[in-house]
Amino acid sequence: MGLLDGLLGKEEEKPAKAGLPFNITTSLRPVRLNARKDNCLEVLVTVKNVTDAPVMTSVSAEVPKSLGFENVGLTKIKEVRIGELPAHKEKTLSFSVCASFQTAPGNYSVLITVNHHYRDYSHVLNYAKKTVEVRAV
Query: Which CATH number goes with the domain that contains 12?
Result: 2.60.40.10
pLDDT of residue 71: 87
Q: How many domains does the chain have?
A: 1
As a whole-number percent, the residues of the chain with pLDDT over 70 amount to 88
* pLDDT at position 13: 44
Whether the per-residue pLDDT at 53 is higher than 70: the answer is yes
Cα separation of the two ends of the chain: 27
Q: For the residues 4-17, what does the mean pLDDT come to?
A: 53
**pTM (2 d.p.):** 0.86
Helix, strand, or coil here: 53?
Answer: coil
Q: What pLDDT sits at residue 18? A: 72
* Pairwise CA distance, residues 36 & 80, whole Å: 29
Domain that residue 64 falls in: 5-136
Q: How far apart are alpha carbons 55 and 17 in whole angstroms?
A: 16
Query: Which of 30, 35, 33 is closest to 105 using CA atoms?
Result: 35
- Contact between 78 and 95 under an 8 Å Cβ cutoff? The reply is yes
Instruction: Note the pLDDT tens digit of each residue in 82-117.
Output: 999 999 999 999 999 999 999 999 999 999 999 999
| pLDDT at site 101 | 93
Cβ contact 46:90 at 8 Å? yes
Rounded to whole angstroms, the Cα distance separating 78 from 97 reads 10
Question: Rounded CA gap, 60 and 47, in Å?
Answer: 12
What's the pLDDT at 41?
97
In the chain, count H helices and then E strands: 1, 9
Distance CA 132, CA 137 (A): 16
